[in-house]
Structure 1
Amino acid sequence: MFGFFLVLPLVIIIITGNQLRARGFYSADDISALMKTLYWVILPPLLFRTTYIAGTEVLKQPNLLIASTLCYILTIIVAYIGSVWFAHRGNVKRVAVSVFSSFRSNNIYLGFPVIQMAMGEAGLHEASIYVAVTTVSFQLLSIAAGEAVLYGRPSVSGILNMLKKLALNPLIISCVLGVIAASFGFSIHFVFDEAMKLMSGAATAVALLALGGSLDLSRMGKIVKILSSTWFDTLIKLAVNPAIMCAVLFLLPISKELFQVTVMLSAMPNAVNCFILARGMGMDSEYAADLVAATTLLGIISIPAWAYILGMV
């Protein structure tokens, strides 16, 4: 029962953000500003502070790096085989969405709030380690897989463009700076530390309001149609991907807390940017939007289920 109450406060805030957008309180520009503020202003101090506290531990997680990369590759293979031979036979653009989105979780706008609700500050500490260790392979493998389906192979320009974006990503920069500061023993004055704590404290509410405002819940009126068309990829994202992560982490063990956080983040619904990136890359963006809606809706059930399986509730 607690698992349901773990998600309910988050759902209330998501619906609040959606209704504020639907009733004109938030415009599209306002939602964009919320996301920009979260991405560039609020999350970087949170990630810097938590990776600073973690210190060089981030650099001592080879099992997490290997296991997560192996999980991503295995998930892509399962999604590709299932979509080509069964779910999306003959529809290349949907097959591309299937492999591209198979493990792209909504870690920032939903995953972090869930982890904070379930585990508090300690959970965010572990979540920051996960982000710092896995982001590069997470981004490169998903985009390369999508391009390989569409064009027969990943484009060099696409990979180089993604590497450039990763180098300028404020979340990655914050993690790297946190590790460097810890490695060289830099001390942070308590005034700046408190400022970062206050800034990061706003992350959960802002992230959920922005997520709610960005979701087109009007599509839920066609929910039966959406679920019937996306069930395969929804199953891959909410069940198969986290199950594979569990399996590889049993072979390549990490700490219990980091294991719980890693699998829980793997079990998150698809990230909203799946739709944005799918459109930009020439995939079936409407199907990607339906997939985001379907996984987010069913996440109300799957997130408490995984929290129970992982012993987080």
Structure 2
Amino acid sequence: MHYAQLLFPDFSLILIGYLLCRHTALNRPVWQSVEGLVYYFLFPVLLFHSIVRTPLEVRAASGLISTGLGLIATGIALSYALPRVPGLGRRMDPRDHAASAQIAFRFNSFIGLALAERLGGAQGLQLIAVLIGVCVPLCNIGAVWPMARHAGRGFAGELVRNPLILATASGLAANLLGFSMPEWLVPTVSRIGASSIALGLMAAGAGMQFQSLARGKLLGASVLTIRHLLMPIAAWALARVAGLAPEETLALLIFSALPTASSCYVLAARMGCNGPYVAGLVTLSTVLGVVSLPFALGVLGQFAI
């Protein structure tokens, strides 16, 4: 299977967003508003609907949930350990490391949901939604903690106001309580979900920045190596150890190789860190996703699925 061809629709939307932002009147302020619409409304609706649309058997999904959390914990541990690696620590700026550590373990949910639906249908979409639901809180804690330490700020308020955490927590609770979406509401919610994926991918492209990549090359290479090489390998190993079903393994491999979250630079800037540097890493991670996703699905997947 040519996974690069399957990724083309998603990355073409990213490219369209980049070109529109740079070469038309639809400039950065326009896309900042689009990001807000997607982040605070459209995407939480998609996330909630993806989780509640099919009854979730917690016991059946426990293996996937535990491996997903284990994968994110592995990424956090590896990124936090970089300053302690002999020969690396003294060449890394502590504040830049605090801001960029999140690149190694956060993920672009828009690309994940779009790809999971294309490869796994409704079941694949739900499996990815479950992974997003249980891992978003851990990712946010891992991302905010080092920056809060360096900035002298708390992070509890950032977590409880996160719309993705609220949507996934309420979706999981509603699913476990037996809630189902009324049939008359499903078409509207489905259209909202479809628009969130398209607009989210285009907004990710509009936010790409290339000019800041010259700074902190060693740190950037380190976090991107974790994100695009070590995380897929760790996912493959965890899936083998846990004995995941093929569809669960597929979802975990997709999840492990995604580009980092496009909102990383927004969080870094809001926490008083070097936002442009993080934006450059987000841009490069988005490009590297064209390589890491086929590697995870086409190479590692041959030995796991």
TM-score normalised by structure 1 residue count: 0.82
- SS in structure 1 of the partner of residue 138 of structure 2: helix
String of CA shifts for 1:126-177, please: whole Å, max 9, x gaps: 11111222221121123224445x37xxx6x5232233224xx2x3333344
Cross-structure match for 1:73: 73
Q: Structure 1 residue 187: deviation in Å?
A: 4.5
In structure 1, the residue matched to 2:134 is 133
Against the structure 1 CA distance between its residues 279 and 25, is the aligned structure 2 distance closer, same or farther, given a 3 Å change threshold? same
Hey, what does 2:194 align to over in structure 1? 201
For structure 1, which runs of at least 5 residues remain unmatched after alignment? none
Letter in 2 for 1:117: R
TM alignment of 1:1-313, pairs within 5 A: 2-58=2-58, 61-84=61-84, 85-90=86-91, 91-108=93-110, 110-148=111-149, 150=150, 158-166=154-162, 169=163, 171-217=164-210, 219=211, 225=214, 228-229=217-218, 230-308=220-298, 309-310=300-301
Task: Please list every run of 5 or more consecutive structure 2 residues that lacks an aligned counterpart in the other structure.
Answer: none
Relative to structure 1, the CA distance from residue 205 to residue 93 in structure 2 (aligned partners, 3 Å threshold; closer, same or farther) is: same
Q: Specify the SS of the correspondent of 1:89.
A: helix
Q: Give the whole-Å Cα distance in 2 for the aligned partners of 1:103 and 1:2.
A: 26
Corresponding residue SS for 1:270: coil
Residues 104 and 138 in structure 1, CA contact (< 8 A), matched pair in contact too:
yes
Distance 1:294 1:260 in 2: 24
Query: How high is the sequence identity, in percent, across the aligned residues?
Result: 21
Q: Aligned partners of 2:168 and 2:82: how far apart in 1?
A: 36
Deviation at 1:281, TM superposition (A): 2.8
SS of alignment partner, residue 310 of structure 1 = helix
Output the CA distance in 1 between the equivalents of 2:60 and 2:113.
Answer: 22
**By how many angstroms is 1:59 displaced?**
7.2
How many residues get paired? 300
Contact 1:13 1:209 in 2 (8 A): yes
The change in CA–CA distance for 1:126 and 1:279 in structure 2 (over 3 A counts) is: same
Task: Tell me how far 1:41 sits from its aligned partner.
Answer: 3.2
Identify if the C-alpha distance between structure 1 residues 181 and 73 changes in structure 2 by more than 3 Å, giving closer, same or farther.
closer
> Do 2:160 and 2:166's aligned partners in 1 also have CA atoms closer than 8 Å?
no
Q: Contact conserved, 1:43 with 1:203, CA < 8 A, in 2?
A: yes
Q: 3-state DSSP class of the match of 1:202? A: helix
One-letter code of the match for 2:207?
S
Deviation at 1:235, TM superposition (A): 0.8
In the TM superposition, residue 207 of structure 1 has moved relative to its aligned partner by 1.5
> Is contact 1:55-1:178 (8 Å) kept?
no
Distance 2:66 2:114 in 1: 26
TM-score norm. by structure 2 comes to: 0.84
Which structure carries more helix by proportion?
A: 1
Kindly state the Cα deviation for residue 252 of structure 1 after the two structures are TM-superposed.
3.4
Q: CA RMSD in A?
A: 2.9
Call closer, same or farther: CA 1:163–1:297 in 2, change over 3 Å: closer
